[in-house]
Amino acid sequence: MEIIQWLNSIFWGYLVASVLLGSGIYFAIKLQLPQVRYFSSLIRNLKDGRKSDGGVSGFSALCAALGGQVGTGSLVGVAAALASGGPGAIFWMWMTAILGMGVAFCEAILAQLFRKSNGDGTYRGGPAYYMSYGMNNKILAMCFSASIIIGIGVFYVMIQGNSIALAATGVMDINPITGGVILCGLVAAVTFGGIKRLADVATYLVPAMAAIYILLTLFIILSNFTMIDDVFFLIIEQAFNFDAAAGGVTGSTIVLAFRYGIARGLFSNDAGNGTAPSMHATAQVKHPVNQGMSAMLGVFFTTIIVCTCTAFTILITGALDSGESGILLTQKTFDIAFGDFGKFVVFAAIFLFSFTTLLADIYYGEVNLQWFSNKKFIVTGYRILACGLIIISTLIPVSALWDLIDFASAFMVFFNVVALVFLLKYVKYVVANYDRQKKNGVELPEWDYNIDITKVELSGSDIESKPSVQAS
């Protein structure tokens, strides 16, 4: 474990952060700031994506992706960032989100372009697929798939189970293993129903749980509105704190704030690590840009809104001085604000958030296993293994899980960003196609999904029909 911690200090010191922020700036320039140009259309785009003909709608795919994003990263990740990097870490989480919106935009579009049909009206896809069919680089695809199966399909699954178990012990006298067994049964009931059931469950759970949680945090924030300015300026000040002698959590230096802000920011919104594209590939939308907008909204919502609400409540209540970390810090915050009732609020939130995140994480592991082999017994075996990992996770220290997650996430980012840069030409072409249709008065631009974009003359103004890359 010491070797992994040493490598993490190198990866997350500046290397991963530089890759994420650098690629975010690069994509923003090349695509002319899609997070700004399309921002006013993000909500309207949801309305257009609420329905699909028998498959997974764009809205359902977004909810399923949010189920994997608005998880422990929004509650546990923020608390961990504050405890380890101080208030300044929140600023770097914001930067990760703003630039990450452009990265997520590219990921979702490529996932739509290079997905594969499951033969039942649904689709599967993601980085391994656009690496393989867009770049024709099966080695890179294999490396990415292996890293995401281990990082997301194993370690991420375990951190969700661990978080729920810890939250449960904070509100009731229950053995963590017992909670793990109950959770395992609930997850299995949905997971073995496939992507359609997962999307349907997420469509109902995600909007409801997010709305309730945000309303409660806003109540705390608005009840102490005179402190909002002080908290905001504290975050900005600590983000650029070079005084190592300041001491204490609020005296964390810019190095710690930067390191943990970027790492936990990525954990909260997944932009750049290649997980969410697997869910966005399932959506049936009129144009890939539609799902690109949904991906940007997902990043904005998880980090700029949900994570900010969590961070402000922790800082306003003074819970950061309690010495707690992770989910226990978040529970302490709500305990201060609402008394014993607050602990149950956090438990309910972390249970629902982590539940949908677990479903998404298992699917991410599954869809990347399918890149290696689509044999049913392999997928079934993985689902059984994942359910077992939920129980095992209740016995493992959370600090060890965070180290393993950071280690795996670094490789996912490296492999995925290489592909995004190489395939950016296709994203630019698709975006130009969408913008041209809008300029010509088409209210809802459409894309011909039968086109093999790798055989298209990208400098041309019209798209020639070619054999589909989606055909099984």
Q: Which of 2-6, 378-382, 437-441 has the highest mean pLDDT?
A: 437-441
Give the pLDDT band (50/70/90) at residue 469: very low
- Ranking 218-222, 264-268, 401-405 by mean pLDDT, the lowest is 264-268
pLDDT over 90 at 428, yes or no: yes
Nearest to 308 by CA among 269, 276, 272, 277: 269
pLDDT at site 306 = 85
Residue whose pair of structure tokens reads 């073995």 in the numeric block: 192
pLDDT over 80 at 426, yes or no: yes
The residues pairing with 116 across neighbouring beta strands, listed in sequence order, are: 124
The conformation of residue 330, written as its DSSP 8-state character, comes to: H
Query: Rounded to whole angstroms, how far apart are CA atoms 109 and 86?
Result: 35
pLDDT at site 459 = 59
Give ∠ CA 348-298-92 in degrees, rounded to 5.
90
Query: Rounded to whole angstroms, how far apart are CA atoms 328 and 75?
Result: 10
Residues 6 or more apart whose Cβ sits within 8 Å of residue 381: none
Query: Rounded to whole angstroms, how far apart are CA atoms 274 and 259?
Result: 20
Reading the block at residue 222, the tokens are: 């608005």
User: In this predicted model, what pLDDT tens digit does every residue of 286-333 receive, in sequence order?
Assistant: 899 999 998 998 889 888 888 898 899 999 998 888 877 666 787 788
DSSP codes joined into one string, 230-292: HHHHHHHHHHT---TTS-SGGG--HHHHHHHHHHHHHHHH-TTTTSHHHHHTTEE-SSHHHHH
DSSP codes joined into one string, 378-447: HHHHHHHHHHHHHHHHTTS-HHHHHHHHHHHHHHHHHHHHHHHHHHHHHHHHHHHHHHHHHHTT-SS---
Nearest to 338 by CA among 311, 319, 321: 319
pLDDT at site 250 = 47
pLDDT at site 61 = 65
Neighbour tally for 172: CB within 10 Å = 11
Give the pLDDT band (50/70/90) at residue 79: confident
Query: Rounded to whole angstroms, how far apart are CA atoms 34 and 109?
Result: 12
pLDDT over 60 at 468, yes or no: no
Query: Rounded to whole angstroms, how far apart are CA atoms 219 and 215?
Result: 6
pLDDT at site 460 = 46
Kindly indicate whether the domain formed by 2-438 is annotated with CATH number 1.20.1740. Answer: yes
- Ranking 70-74, 160-164, 214-218, 224-228 by mean pLDDT, the lowest is 70-74
Give yes or no for a contact between 206 and 66, defined as CB atoms under 8 angstroms apart: yes
What φ, ψ does residue 16 adopt, rounded to 5°? -65, -40
Give the pLDDT band (50/70/90) at residue 152: confident
The larger pLDDT score, comparing residue 208 to residue 307, is at 307
Query: Rounded to whole angstroms, how far apart are CA atoms 130 and 453?
Result: 12
pLDDT over 70 at 463, yes or no: no
pLDDT over 60 at 470, yes or no: no
Give the pLDDT band (50/70/90) at residue 3: confident
Q: How many residues belong to the chain?
A: 472
% of the chain residues with pLDDT over 90: 23
Residue whose pair of structure tokens reads 């496939």 in the numeric block: 194
Query: Rounded to whole angstroms, how far apart are CA atoms 312 and 435?
Result: 38
Taken in order 356, 133, 424, 152, is the CA torsion positive or negative?
positive
Give the pLDDT band (50/70/90) at residue 251: very low
Residues 6 or more apart whose Cβ sits within 8 Å of residue 341: none
* DSSP reduced 3-state for 117: strand
Reading the block at residue 203, the tokens are: 């469509």
Give yes or no for a contact between 349 and 334, defined as CB atoms under 8 angstroms apart: no
Distance between alpha carbon 210 and the CA centroid of its chain, in Å? 15
Residue whose pair of structure tokens reads 């956090």 in the numeric block: 346
pLDDT over 80 at 263, yes or no: no
Give yes or no for a contact between 409 and 273, defined as CB atoms under 8 angstroms apart: yes
pLDDT over 90 at 27, yes or no: yes
State the chain's mean pLDDT as an integer. 80
User: In this predicted model, what pLDDT tens digit does every residue of 175-205 receive, in sequence order?
Assistant: 778 877 888 888 887 777 765 666 666 666 6
Residues 6 or more apart whose Cβ sits within 8 Å of residue 193: none
The residues pairing with 123 across neighbouring beta strands, listed in sequence order, are: 117
